[in-house]
Chain A
Amino acid sequence: MELVYLLIPLACLGAAVAVGFLGSVVGRVAAHTIAIAGVAISFLLSIIVAVDVSQGHHFNGAIYTWGQSGGVVFTVGFLIDELTAVMMVVVTFVSLMVHVYTIGYMAKDPGYTRFFSYIGLFTFAMLMLVMANNFLQLFFGWEAVGLVSYLLIGFWYERESAIFANLKAFLVNRVGDLGFLLGIAGVLFLFGSLDYATVFEAAPQKETATLVSPMGYEWQWITLICLLLFVGAMGKSAQVPLHVWLPDSMEGPTPISALIHAATMVTAGIFMVARMSPLFELSETARSVVLMIGALTALLMALVGLVQTDIKRVVAYSTLSQLGYMTVALGASAYSIAIFHLTTHAFFKALLFLGAGAVIIALHHEQDMRKMGGLRRALPITYGTCIVGSLALSGIPPFSGFFSKDAIIEAVAHATIPGAGLTYVAVLIGVFVTALYSFRLIFMVFHGQRAENLDEAHGVNEPGWVVTFPLIALAIPSVVAGAILVEPVLSGRLFATAITEPVIATGSHTTAGTMLLHGFSGLPFWLAVAGVISAWVLYCLKPRWPSKIASTFSPVYRILQRKYGFDELYQCVFMRGSRYLGEHLWRTGDVKLIDGIMVNGTANLVGRLAEIIRHLQSGYIYHYAFAMIIGLVVAMSWHLWV
């Protein structure tokens, strides 16, 4: 079995390297065949591993020793348990679908083979991340997915906006990584090991370990470590205030937005916190912070989604908001529900992105929703699957999103840690807003007046099967995954010992059936329905109302349009600030002070001294002779008198 574990990431890596170096030689068809074969092998083997794990076969072992220093052995190794298995299946499945889809989406792109190489590399990195059995390898995967994300956001490197966005994404993520790395250093300091099993086992004994902050407060060590690790999660999973990179990441090709910036990479932070559940369970303070950050992200980003006009950006803000929901679940100690929502979200959000991509290619790379409309006849499969995705996203029963989202809301309702009350309100409002922006998209794009510039002559046709097949393949789990998984998740069977959490308090509704019954009478359901109806009224029935509302509440509208001004603030403070600081430090420190005064100043001083001393060396013999005589006289008289 160990060989199988090893083969899963390596199949992707091998394919990526082969396509990367030989892609231009072997041609497009061979390139995508190799790439798809690689990820398909990974997917099939992941299924085998998942089945094996469900029978209780776990694995925790090293592959090789990376290094050793100061008594600490750093290894590269795998931890295969239920949590890993779920992530592996999700990652490889979505990746496989995106691979297939890419054949259609990138068909005319000159960077075709390069793209396949990158997504193969990404799948490898993501697998290394989720399969890690220690913090070092986790960090390796963490940074490697960041690298591929950087490369893919800037895939169209001639676009100024793309290469700005990828730099921004990398730097914002690095801010998170700074915290993450310090958290890892803290783990090593406190536990003397970076191995998950060792750390988790020792964690309860370290619960009372404290350190004294400079202000004199006593801090629980575990709280500090959890908060630092969570800063990393905030970067990768785009939580407020480190969320600013994700909307801009839409500069990358759409398959990437689906795979990396919706389904998998951005959920790495969620996965990481769930993996660290034995640590987070020991710190209520840390969980409280997690909860509130999540609530903030869930609500604020959903509201911004209401005013976006770029089809991809609507889905991007929706992703941010849903990541907020997952974070809320983590904060409420419902780690397995967070992973549950991560899973359902991976399916329906990848579906929505690929659907948006299908619209974009059908319209020859038009992304502005205001120029779309009435596409449901021309793109029936896209329309149908997008409806499925939106229903799942809005949490309408019996679609998958309903189960996971309802479970999150229930978990928050039962949570007792500080901030839970406000969070509950926020996630409820979020349900309404989510349904509103989701169906705003549907109605603007697929219903209403057919946009005048999109006449039949333009040839708006459904793309080929390589595009529609992944849509359908993702639509199926978007419908059924929730109903299938809800019982194993809520009963604690699915994740077994992989996640440490209290018994999930969601009342007695732990099976799909009871949850459905309960769901139709619950507040979230009616809020979602209200959202859908509002969208229908605003964007189908009374299409003039939205602009009226916008002008009536123009201050609010402008705040939302400016996305609360985070970008402007960061631009001003960090980008301009650091350049200003650097420029002035350089000009006054290096150029003026050190070089001007110290170095060249010394040189000038020596020069001036030499100018004076030069007169002593006149070259006239009688000067020297006189000097010698005077010296002799002084020396002799010295000896005589002293």
Chain B
Amino acid sequence: MSFLHSHLLSILIWLPILGGILVLATGDDRNAAMARKMGLGFSVATLLLSVLLYRNFDLTTADMQFVEQMPWINIFDIQYFLGVDGISVPLILLTTFLTVIVVIAGWEVIQERTAQYFAAFLFMEGFMVGVFSALDGILFYVFWEAMLIPMFLIIGVWGGQNRVYAAIKFFLYTLLGSLLMLVAILYLYSQSGSFSVLEFHKTPLGMTPQILIFLAFLAAFSVKVPMVPVHTWLPDAHVEAPTGGSVILAAVLLKMGAYGFLRFSIPIAPDAARELAGLMITLSLVAIVYIALVALVQRDMKKLIAYSSISHMGFVTLGFFVFNTQAMEGAIAQMISHGFISGALFLCVGVLYDRMHSREISSYGGVVNSMPSFAFLFVFFAMANVGLPGTSGFVGEFLVILGTYAVNGWIAAIAATTLVLGAAYTLWMVKRVVFGPVANDQVAALSDINPRETWMLALLGAAVLLVGLWPFPLLELMHASVDQLLEQARVIKF
């Protein structure tokens, strides 16, 4: 138990990676069944272990927990330094939960290079947990970049027709930003004499370096979130990615950018963060309103949901930069909730795509007639996307609006337009896809979701309801860390 406890984060990182290697070792598609079972086994084991992380997490402190620290590359002072707080734990849980869902989602759908497919997701899981628990700048950077590779492959190998363009766009877009982040990390090392992120937090910096560092991190994080105007890779990547790729992309990858703001930008450059808050809030509001309008006119379901993701992530960045407890906690809750909901919506589109091989809204109509169970779940997740109270989508939006209102009523009012716009683009799509008379023979011939599909959607649905009806445990998890973060944001460093 004590070994498990003291090395839990390492296990959560390396177990799925080890699993990935073993799955790869099953070889070609003749052993696909084996690869699937192993993939499921490793992802479930990781999920169960991450529950242990939650169970043993101390709610009373904002200090890093489950810390592992040892030298890694001595000559450069680079450490293998892991630890989690109340902000990273929910994200790790989200990661391990969604990996299981994605493995279930790919079960029958992926028939070619099965082992490689499941291995890629297991690798990615390990790297993502690594990103959320690394406390050494270089270690963080390594995980951050490593994660690009399996994602690149997932889009490029199992993707749609235009997959190569999308994969390269995704890769270059994100790489460009992260190189600037590396420069910022190296600069911070020169100032603090350590790569420890916790040291970075304490290092005094002048206003100009702070601004530059903030902008360098912004380059990396804003691409990942993504924020306007560096968001255009996301719709393309989603459209071309296989369903599982889209799910992980929307549910977890986007959160890494948002997480970066909390772990790096705000505590390292608090003065710059306050100075540039106006810019960040403006970009967030543009994302919420402009992107919602763009989402309204999309003809491709995946593009529509991708744009919806950008709009919802606007709420996350808005919540961060008004520097208010409710808004910040709401933003983190929104990250988790968006993981469930966008993941579920992409799975729903995947369910339809597997049957009809079309993502065009106009190919559908009256799906409810042939797929009533599916329609029920799809409408449910659509309502969650709209932020209906009782679903997780409400928690984040509600708290962010409350928190923002306390700072500036006008900003809150502009953000609240999502109540109308979000409902417009989501439910208009639902109307055209799910309701109405049967549009064509293909729709009439659709078979309703099978038990496997029902399970994966029902699990997400349960999560959406649980967080929506009782967000208390989730919020409780982050109180101490958010308080500390807001204190760090108030520090004057120069």
Contact = CB atoms under 8 A, between A and B. Distances in A.
A501 interface: no
Contacts, number: 144
Contacts of A595: 232
Nearest to B403: A70
Contacts of B390: 140, 143-144
A284 B330 CA distance: 35
Contact of B405 (A136, A163, A185): A185
B434 to A, nearest CB: 8
B319 to A, nearest CB: 11
Contacts of A164: 431
Contacts of B297: 579, 582-583, 586
Given A70-B329, A140-B390, A582-B296, A158 B427 contact: no
Given A177-B419, A578-B424, A67 B232 contact: no
A157 B329 contact: no
Given A70-B329, A185-B401, A579-B297, A157 B436 contact: yes
B338 to A, nearest CB: 17
Contacts of A586: 293-294, 297-298
Contacts of A67: 395, 470-472, 474-475
A71 interface: yes
A69 B229 contact: no
Nearest to A143: B389
A167 B434 CA distance: 13
A143 B383 CA distance: 11
A594 to B, nearest CB: 5
Interface SS majority for chain B = helix
Interface string B38-55: 000000000000000000
B177 to A, nearest CB: 13
Interface residues of B, number: 62
Contact of A69 (B169, B329, B469): B329
B188 interface: no
Interface string B469-486: 111101110010000000
Nearest to A606: B172
A157 to B, nearest CB: 4
Interface stretch (A168-176, A546-554, A621-629): A168-176
A178 B397 CA distance: 12
B332 to A, nearest CB: 10
Contacts of A157: 366, 368, 434-436
B232 A163 contact: no
A585 B232 CA distance: 13
B447 interface: no
Contact of B431 (A65, A163, A578, A599): A163
A170 B423 contact: yes
A163 B395 CA distance: 28
A455 interface: no
Contacts of A154: 435
Interface string B171-204: 0110000000000000000000000000000000
Centre residue among A66, A150, A595 by max chain B CB count within 10 A: A66
Contacts of A140: 389-390
Contact of A585 (B294, B409, B417): B294
A595 B428 CA distance: 27
A607 to B, nearest CB: 13
B324 A70 contact: yes
A143 B397 CA distance: 14
B472 A68 contact: yes
B399 interface: yes
A434 to B, nearest CB: 33
Contact of A582 (B293, B368, B412): B293
Interface string B401-438: 11101100110110011011101100110010011110
B471 A599 contact: no
Contacts of B394: 143
Nearest to A67: B471
A186 interface: yes
A153 to B, nearest CB: 11
5 contacts: A69-B329, A69-B330, A69-B479, A182-B416, A188-B406
Given A186-B405, A594-B231, 12 more contacts: A68-B479, A140-B389, A150-B427, A158-B366, A164-B431, A174-B423, A175-B420, A181-B398, A578-B421, A582-B297, A586-B294, A594-B232
Interface of A: 64-72, 136, 139-140, 143-144, 147, 150, 154, 157-158, 160, 163-164, 167, 170-171, 174-175, 177-178, 181-182, 184-186, 188-189, 214, 578-579, 581-583, 585-586, 589-590, 593-595, 598-599, 603
